[in-house]
Structure 1
């Protein structure tokens, strides 16, 4: 009878159910450390690249056991087996994320969990040869370096870092080349504390708490899990939670101008903000630049959608407004004169340009964000903006937005109060 059992193995003793499955098995697959010391009569298959092992297990005519670290249903081998048509019996152990939070004595129902398994194919294949059970560490990669969820290998670490920039409590499943040192370096400019849990469940287990900047200068033992914490932002809600992770999205967006501190109505109007947000598409894992942030209303709304945000502003009088409007949202303020101050900033996924003209727009385009939007008060500025985007290979569009809001009159009647027209030019990479 064909049956596949996946057993989570945390380095301790196996359960009675796992022991019975091993006794029946005619094929056992696992990392070298999982197979060492096992006394079984079955054929033992030491893990290498994922795809051949999954294919071998799926084709096996008999009972097979796959040994994996932690909870194999959490960023683990169970998904790969099911894609191959196998419906396994799963006997889990404690996941590395749960173990790391337990060691730190922290609750984690309000934490996000991300994988930093992003690298090129050659590096991934080399890592798998060096450490053939990497894929069992709760976040597998394939031999070609593609994460099991199908995401691009180049985006794994960058998107994980963006989540760490945006959220106050994140668990990062790491890999060689995308570990605590790389996380610490990428978080430069953000106040973050890292709790690094090395070699959980082994005699070499170690828990180290370190600031992000200091983590970048250290060497760390693999495998490890990293908890990234914002010391300035407590748990998202002091009351007991009802949903794990990031929680529901914002109840509304394009908030009225009265929701923000601003000077003399110098703020992107709500109707324009709604269209700008639709074109920017801020989301979890993205980094958005708000260049010429003014009051910071666009920055604040992007942060509420879960994106990491950099608000860039040169006017000293505007800086306290941005700080107030983005308080508690994790946005980072960059005080400087664009385009010069943009050179050292991390790679954006989307950019909103609120001022600065073609030179600033061109500097943003040079970083190749997927989406870029600018709001212009003068018609004469539309053509140059379209030219900058079009010449760089962006698909462009432009609209003129003008809202007329109902305003009450005496006696219960209303009139239409027009807001100033704004031209919005946007571009998207094909």
Structure 2
């Protein structure tokens, strides 16, 4: 029999003590083993190499107790045990995320929780860039310093919770710049807050809510200058190729009104809008209010210097040099739009020469326009070439 016991610093429950007394093998982190003090007859394994520990658990004769932080079913070892075919009894404690939010006195029903254990740190960092309230379960390769470094340029406050429930517990508030310069001891949870956007938090079960107006909003939902906006028909196709989702970083280059980047942000991607025109930057900030889009004023490709590498790039303006500079950062996906045939052809060659698989389509939409007497006509929109490059 395998029992997983959650540890949050409080004394073990009577049921957990019964399971420990009967155990022939106890597996857990060193601090959990020291706190629980398994019986002398039980063999102990300090949990470091998870795969090796799982092998030992599978080969054990007799009862096994696995000690885990907080709730073992919440980004914990329970998933790994079930993946090995085990069906353990679980005695949970208060999750470390719940404890961390309790320590700082904030509700967390509107928070998004991500884990950095065994995962690319970019996913956790991009979630912190995109959303107003994120808790990260940290890992040696993704501690407070890594998260803070990735948040340079984003206005965030960090709470770092160390050794939750233990005698050395510490919960510290700091700015990202401070977090990069400090030493941290065994952090459990990092909470990143965009304090200007707290309080909205519409959620559906455990996922961020979908955008209220759906996919590809009408052009008049945005302030723009003299029709300088990616039309909604083109935007819908571009968004479908960019695949905005939680954990991805998207650049919107030559952003204009910011419509593409804003809708990527509404689908919970982290977004940087890059625009050289100061007046257009003001438009983007006005349109993007409350969305979390970061606006960078400057001409591409020089404006790319110092920015984090994107997962996907939309190039709606800026010419071939803007596209070439983006390709040098090797995003997975690049989407570019052009009105001129010669520019579309040159961009296609540029994408192919950079090693991308290229798809292209010309979009020529006609919209209904009302006529007197209740009839209507078709009002043609300017044709647009949409190129999509995917890394091989």
Q: TM-score range by the shorter chain?
A: over 0.9
State how far apart, in whole Å, the 1-side matches of 2:44 and 2:186 are.
Answer: 24
Q: Which of 3, 12, 19 in structure 1 is aligned with 2:10?
A: 12
Shift of 1:185: 1.6
**1:153-192 counterparts in 2 under 5 A?**
153=119, 156-192=120-156
Is 1:359 the counterpart of 2:357? The answer is no
SS at match of 1:66: strand
State how far apart, in whole Å, the 2-side matches of 1:416 and 1:321 are.
Answer: 30
Deviation per CA, 1:186-206, whole angstroms, max 9, x where unpaired? 111100000111111111111
Q: Which of 180, 204, 208 in structure 2 is aligned with 1:216?
A: 180
Task: Tell me how large the CA RMSD over aligned residues is.
Answer: 1.5
State how far apart, in whole Å, the 1-side matches of 2:288 and 2:33 are.
Answer: 52
State how far apart, in whole Å, the 1-side matches of 2:273 and 2:144 are.
Answer: 26
Paired residues of 2:21 and 2:38 also in contact (CA < 8 A): no
Paired residues of 1:162 and 1:286 also in contact (CA < 8 A): yes
Shift of 1:250: 4.7
Residues 1:25 and 1:38: Cα distance change in structure 2 (over 3 Å): closer
Shift of 1:46: 2.7
Paired residues of 1:70 and 1:95 also in contact (CA < 8 A): yes
**1:246-395 counterparts in 2 under 5 A?**
246-395=208-357
SS at match of 2:278: coil
Residues 1:276 and 1:97: Cα distance change in structure 2 (over 3 Å): same
Is 1:417 the counterpart of 2:382? The answer is no
Deviation per CA, 1:238-282, whole angstroms, max 9, x where unpaired? x8x663452345551111111111111111111000011111111
* Unmatched runs of 5 consecutive residues or more in structure 2: none
State how far apart, in whole Å, the 1-side matches of 2:199 and 2:9 are.
Answer: 32
Q: Hey, what does 2:104 align to over in structure 1?
A: 104
State how far apart, in whole Å, the 1-side matches of 2:26 and 2:177 are.
Answer: 43
State how far apart, in whole Å, the 1-side matches of 2:211 and 2:317 are.
Answer: 29
Shift of 1:40: 4.6
Shift of 1:178: 1.7
State how far apart, in whole Å, the 2-side matches of 1:410 and 1:205 are.
Answer: 73
Paired residues of 2:344 and 2:387 also in contact (CA < 8 A): yes
Shift of 1:32: 2.5
SS at match of 1:26: strand
Residues 1:40 and 1:251: Cα distance change in structure 2 (over 3 Å): farther
Paired residues of 1:249 and 1:304 also in contact (CA < 8 A): yes
Q: Which of 184, 189, 196 in structure 1 is aligned with 2:160?
A: 196
Paired residues of 1:257 and 1:267 also in contact (CA < 8 A): yes
Paired residues of 1:187 and 1:212 also in contact (CA < 8 A): yes
Paired residues of 2:312 and 2:331 also in contact (CA < 8 A): yes
SS at match of 1:318: helix
Q: Hey, what does 2:69 align to over in structure 1?
A: 69
**1:99-138 counterparts in 2 under 5 A?**
99-117=99-117
Paired residues of 1:111 and 1:245 also in contact (CA < 8 A): no
Which stretches of structure 1, 4 residues or longer, exceed 4 Å deviation after superposition?
none
Instruction: Return the TM-score normalized by structure 1.
Output: 0.88
Deviation per CA, 1:56-93, whole angstroms, max 9, x where unpaired? 21232322111112111111111111011100000011
SS at match of 1:317: helix
Is 1:28 the counterpart of 2:26? The answer is yes
Is 1:81 the counterpart of 2:81? The answer is yes
State how far apart, in whole Å, the 1-side matches of 2:53 and 2:260 are.
Answer: 48
Deviation per CA, 1:178-227, whole angstroms, max 9, x where unpaired? 21122112111100000111111111111111111221111111133111
Structure ranking higher in strand proportion: 2
Larger deviation, residues 18-27 vs 97-106: 18-27
Q: How many residues align?
A: 390
State how far apart, in whole Å, the 2-side matches of 1:107 and 1:396 are.
Answer: 46
